[in-house]
Structure formats: C-alpha cells, structure tokens
Amino acid sequence: SECMKNLLETDPSEAARVGRVLLNAEPYELESWRLTLKAVQQSSNTQSVEKLYREGCKRMAEVGEVLPKSWETFLNQAATPNL
C-alpha cells in the first residue's frame, strides 16, 4: 500500500496498472480499490473511474459490503480497516 501511494504521486498511469493487478489478486481490499480509483482518476477520464467503481461495488457486494453510490464519496471517506 505504501509503494502504491508513492507510485501514485510519481506515476499515476503506472499506479493504475499496478492497482488493477492488485485488485485481480485481492478483489476485496478496500484500500486497494481506493488507491486504484485515485490513480485511474489522475491518469484517465471520469468514465474509466465510474466503470471501475461499478466493478468495485459489485465485488464488495459479494462479501456484503455496500459502498457509497458515488466514487467521489468513496474516495473522500477515510480508509477503513481490512475485512
């Protein structure tokens, strides 16, 4: 997570790529979703962020976690503990 935060500051596109790899490995990690969404937001367009967030909402619903309706709200929330 620290490595991802550092990468987000220096290379958002690479952070987005790495984030997607992490999400494939650990799809129920909220902080990975948050960091990946931030990276995609910084390196891409809003449609990409919205699509990724919808995917995250579906994934988290599989384990009973309900995310906010908007990705903006999700990104503005404080990080929550791991499930």
- Residue 83's pLDDT band (boundaries 50, 70, 90)? very low
**Cα–Cα distance, 40 to 23 (Å, whole number):** 13
pLDDT at position 10 over 80: yes
pLDDT confidence band for 45 (50 / 70 / 90)? confident
> Looking at residue 67, what is its pLDDT?
96
- The tens digit of pLDDT for each residue in 51-78 reads 999 999 999 999 999 999 999 999 998 5
Residue type, 51: K
Q: Which of 17, 21, 75, 77 is nearest to 50 (CA)?
A: 75
Provide the 10 A C-beta neighbour count for residue 68.
13
pTM: 0.85
- Residue 7: count other Cβ atoms within 10 Å of its Cβ: 19
| Angle (nearest 5°) at CA 22 between 21 and 28 | 130
